[in-house]
Amino acid sequence: MSVQIKLIAGSILLTGMIGLAGCSSNNEAGNSESQATAPTETAVTATSEPEVSPSSTPAATPPETAPETAPAATSSPTEPDKDSTSSNSQNSDKQLKELLELAKNGKVPGVKYAAHTGLIDEVEADWGKPDQQESAGKGIYATYTDKHVVFGFNKGSLIFDVRSSDSALQKLTLKQIEATLGKPDDTKVNGGDKIYTYQANDQYQLKFIIPSSTGTVDHISVFSEQDSFNNMAG
């Protein structure tokens, strides 16, 4: 009996030890499995950063808003434009006053030969023969193309009309003319042209010829009406 009891006790003890060893093995396996799953969780969290970065790129879109703000910067030249307009107005005002003063002496800018006192013979001696000469209206007109000047003279060779189509004059408008010289003393229509006449003094008239097609001066005329009637005509 004692031998059997000892065998039974030994087997129980052995079974207990094997059970304890199994539990320890299970615990270690469980720990190893939990440790094995841990990297997969960190891997997931690691991959979350690249997913966030593309969604953050719209924050870099402010450069697209730059063109919207750019037009605001272009508005600054409007103030120089105001200054330019004021400067142009002052220039035209000065120019027109000078034209009126010259007209009081029968002259146009850049030409020394005057209506009422100049002779076409003097012009030809200085400038040569005109490019074109023809009868028109109350006299004969000689055209000097390169100088942008036309002289009207009577049969006594006395100049009664000096015309200039210089490019500096062709920027003037009726609005500018009236702003400086006031309303014209007379307005006539000649075909597609309008002729605005200012009485410079008792001797001379200053005329602005403006085609309806352009709205700016084509040429000016300083005219001595009394000399247009040729006292030597025969």
pLDDT at 200 exceeding the cut of 70: yes
Q: How far apart are CA 134 and CA 124, in angstroms?
A: 15
Residue 18 has pLDDT above 70, yes or no: no
Q: Is the pLDDT of residue 10 over 80?
A: no
Q: Name the one residue in this structure whose structure tokens are 């991959």.
A: 47
Per-residue pLDDT of 77-103, as tens digits, reads 445 466 656 667 788 999 999 999 999
Which residue, 168, 184, 195, is CA-closest to 98? 168
3-state percent helix, strand, coil for the chain, nearest multiple of 5:
50, 20, 25
- The pTM for the full model equals 0.63
Percent of the chain with pLDDT over 70: 61
159: confidence class by pLDDT, cuts 50, 70, 90: very high
